[in-house]
Structure 1
Amino acid sequence: MRMRLNKYISESGHCSRREADQLIADGRVCVNGEVAGIGVRLGDDDEVTVDGQALKARPRRSSGRRHVYIALNKPVGITCTTDSSVKGNIVDFVGHEQRVFPIGRLDKDSEGLILLTSNGDIVNEILRAENSKEKEYLVAVNKAVTPEFLTGMARGVRIHNQTTKPCRTGRLAKFGFRIVLTQGLNRQIRLMAAAFGYRVTQLRRVRIVNVKLGALKPGQWRNLTDAELHGLLPERTDW
């Protein structure tokens, strides 16, 4: 059975499929000693190298799971990057025995739930905006939360030259609110709040679809359950 090169690279745990496409485009991937192009399909005996280092697709485990899926309570100060040259990068922070990478990101100055995996094949499925997967946040701001502010946030805000999708909001305290998004634009909540003259002082993600932060303390992580994987990826069984 022939496999697309980018899928093979992501299956190895080296990086996500999107990052694999960039590696191929940059000419850093070779198949059988020859620089590979986008769209290449591999046979069983083909050898793949990235920057001269051989890759091997990860074999299935006896437990039935082929990949790692974990939930981390990311502390403030950790950067969601796989770049090992960045001090405080999330991969080194987790220190997993297998190569994992984050699904999406949380800003360095934000905290809370983030998922990491060795399966680059599922990253885009979870992040793709049209899949409308919910992400829930608790937010503290520097001014009193008003009904007008919450209504405006829920209706949509013009940032990054586009209007954010409608979302759900709710007041938690005088200076705090809850927001549930189905998209993940860069610094979205902070920019949305700033449009109304508010500054975010604390931001914590507490849920991604059916996966909840729960009792995880900052810096702690756990493996996802089968039920959580079913909820995240109901159409897939190739874990």
Structure 2
Amino acid sequence: MRINKLLSNSGFCSRREANRIIEEHRVMVNGRLCKPGQWVEEEDIILIDNKPIPVKDKVYIALNKPVGIICTAAKEVQGNIIDYMNYPEYIFPVGRLDKASQGLILMTNDGELANKILASEGKNEKEYIVTVHKPFDDFFIKGMSQGVEICGVKTRPCKMSRVSEGTFRIILTQGLNKQIRRMAKVLGYKVIRLERIRIINIKNNDIDIGKWRNLTEEELIELKHNLK
């Protein structure tokens, strides 16, 4: 794999940060200065500032994100999720949940696990409770369930059920940008509240808005099993 991916997977730093320290000539591979984008093997001798890559304990966190926080690790973005959490170790969000939405987001330093969760071909489930600006009918439920044309593609069929006259539960297996909001808009509805309540087997029902907790060992074992 490329050097920046290896450093990210190890939990040492982000790919962007890896590129920066490589450009600063701080990384050596088998006794030679590392080049940007260089392909490496795990058995290669990789030194950062003349020291081996430090072994980091893996971190797995479930955050109940409040509205207004942006799911980016870019420190220059005001309201970014990293500054919000102020966690003492390097972590990053697994995927995204738009600024106007709230709910479950996973935070980790395990790049390999994050990539498996985000793999679209895995069809991993994400569940949401959504409220729109007016009552909806069965035509709306059918249209959302069967798939809607957005961003030049038709969304995958999904599971959807009514909670109340203006609120529904929906389970997606893909993660297009602002997918639910765009799907609803095509059918003439505006989303006024969106909460993600589940990612695969991880739920946020025991976490207050703005708070977080570490995944339990049982949750992590089940999560990894589902990603095989």
TM-score by length of 1: 0.84
Distance 1:75 1:133, change over 3 A: same
- 1:125 aligned counterpart, secondary structure: helix
1:209–1:29 Cα change, 3 Å: farther
C-alpha deviation, 1:38, in angstroms: 3.5
Answer yes or no: is 1:58 the counterpart of 2:49: no
Task: In structure 1, give the amino acid aligned to 2:72.
Answer: T
> Would the aligned equivalents of 1:82 and 1:91 in 2 still touch at CA under 8 Å?
yes
Partner-residue secondary structure (3-state), 1:86: coil
Report the equivalent of 2:174: 183
5 Å-filtered alignment, 1:25-64, equals 28=23, 30=25, 31-32=27-28, 33-41=33-41, 43=43, 45-48=45-48, 56-59=53-56
Which string of whole-angstrom CA distances, capped at 9 and with x for unpartnered residues, describes residues 44-86 of structure 1? 643246xxx9883324xxxxxx300000000000000101111
Instruction: Supply the distance in 2 between the matched residues of 1:147 and 1:235 (Cα, whole angstroms).
Output: 32
| Equivalence for 2:102 | 111
1:138 corresponds to 2:135: no
The 1-side partners of 2:171 and 2:199 are apart by 10
Count residues in correspondence. 222
- For 1:149-228, what aligned pairs fall within 5 Å after superposition? 149-228=140-219
Is the Cα contact below 8 Å between 2:46 and 2:53 reproduced in 1?
A: no
> Any runs of at least 4 consecutive aligned residues in structure 1 with deviations exceeding 3 A, and if so which?
22-31, 42-45
Equivalences for residues 12-31 of structure 1 within 5 A: 12-15=11-14, 19=15, 24=19, 28=23, 30=25, 31=27
Q: Are the structure 2 counterparts of residues 143 and 235 from structure 1 closer, same or farther at C-alpha, using a change threshold of 3 Å?
A: closer
Cα displacement (A) at 1:117 = 0.1
Shift of 1:223: 0.3
Q: Which stretches in structure 2 are left out of the alignment for 5+ residues?
A: none
| Alpha-carbon spacing, 1:152–1:235, altered in 2? closer, same or farther (3 Å) | closer
Return the offset for 1:12: 3.2
> How far did 1:87 drift?
1.4
Shift of the 55–169 alpha-carbon distance from structure 1 to 2, 3 Å rule, reads farther
Structure 1 residue 8 corresponds to structure 2 residue 31: no
Query: Identity of counterpart residues, as a percentage?
Result: 41
5+ unaligned residues in a row in structure 1: which ranges? 60-65
Q: Judging changes above 3 Å, is the alpha-carbon distance between structure 1 residues 116 and 55 closer, same or farther for their aligned structure 2 residues?
A: farther
Deviation of 1:169 after TM superposition, in Å, equals 0.4
